[in-house]
């Protein structure tokens, strides 16, 4: 298992991706999880549905990035009547979130299973002087199959950089042979 705070998810093999709802611990919050692939957003789970509910996100090609988001409606008053505005938190780097804090912790190859990830969201918005040690990343937890840390398909720019590097080495060697 490798755990990364602010990690990203990539489809590992061309095929279907499944998400399974695990648990939530946010008592005052109504949390809703979504997956965004390309320009399509799909509802996944809400934090009061049955444990182990599983859905298919669809079939994707290897290398497709899956971005997760959590919408959190905060209820604080007696009977949950006081509302804060809905806050949206994203998986990936801290810069994706309005408070500059990573709100998703991802464990890759979860429980020793290749291409399975555990995603845990934290639904507290960061306030200065707030004790971040209270962040437990278990306010909404789900697992996903056929996903992993690294993008298994190189980007075209990676090939371009490789070609430029090889061309530079070739030119350097040629120059050395002439001298």
pLDDT at 79: 53
pLDDT at 177: 87
| Tens digits of residue pLDDT in 87-118 | 888 999 999 998 888 999 999 999 999 999 99
Using a cut of 0.85, tell me whether the model's pTM lies above it: no
Task: Of 42, 69, 70, give the one whose Cα is nearest residue 56.
Answer: 42
pLDDT at 14: 93
Q: Provide the 3-class DSSP secondary structure of residue 71.
A: strand
Q: What is the DSSP letter of 85?
A: P
Q: Which two tokens stand for residue 101?
A: 């804090």
pLDDT at 30: 64
Residues 6 or more apart whose CB falls under 8 angstroms from that of 114 comprise 148
Average pLDDT rounded to a whole number, residues 37-48: 81
Contact 93, 102 (CB under 8 A): yes
Bridge-based pairing of strands 29-37 and 147-148 is: unpaired
Q: Provide the 3-class DSSP secondary structure of residue 36.
A: strand
Burial category of 132 from C-beta neighbours within 10 Å (exposed 0-12, middle 13-18, buried 19 and up): exposed
CA 51 to chain centroid, in Å, comes to 20
- How far is residue 104's CA from residue 144's CA, in Å, rounded to a whole number? 14
| Tens digits of residue pLDDT in 55-64 | 999 999 999 9
- How far is residue 14's CA from residue 64's CA, in Å, rounded to a whole number? 9
Average pLDDT rounded to a whole number, residues 23-30: 61
Residues 6 or more apart whose CB falls under 8 angstroms from that of 15 comprise 59, 60, 146
**24 phi, psi to nearest 5 deg:** -145, 155
pLDDT at 28: 52
pLDDT at 44: 86
- pLDDT of residue 124 exceeding 60, the answer is yes
| Tens digits of residue pLDDT in 128-173 | 566 666 678 887 889 999 999 876 556 677 778 888 999 999 998 8
């Amino acid at each position: 298992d490798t755990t990364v705070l602010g990690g990203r998810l990539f489809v590992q093999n061309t095929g279907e991706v499944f998400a399974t709802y695990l648990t939530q611990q946010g008592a005052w919050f109504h949390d809703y999880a979504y997956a965004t692939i390309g320009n399509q957003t799909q509802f996944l789970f809400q934090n009061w549905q049955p444990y182990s509910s599983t859905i298919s996100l669809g079939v994707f090609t290897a290398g497709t990035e899956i971005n997760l988001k959590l919408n959190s409606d905060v209820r604080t008053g007696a009977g949950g009547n006081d509302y804060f505005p809905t806050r949206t938190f994203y998986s990936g780097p801290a810069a994706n979130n309005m408070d500059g804090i990573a709100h998703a912790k991802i464990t890759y190859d979860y429980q020793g299973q290749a291409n399975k990830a555990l995603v845990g969201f934290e639904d507290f918005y960061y306030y200065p002087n707030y004790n971040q040690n209270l962040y437990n990343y278990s306010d909404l937890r789900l697992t996903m199959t056929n996903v992993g840390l690294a993008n298994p398909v190189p980007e075209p720019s990676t090939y371009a950089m490789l070609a430029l590097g090889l061309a530079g080495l070739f030119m350097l060697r040629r120059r050395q042979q002439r001298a």
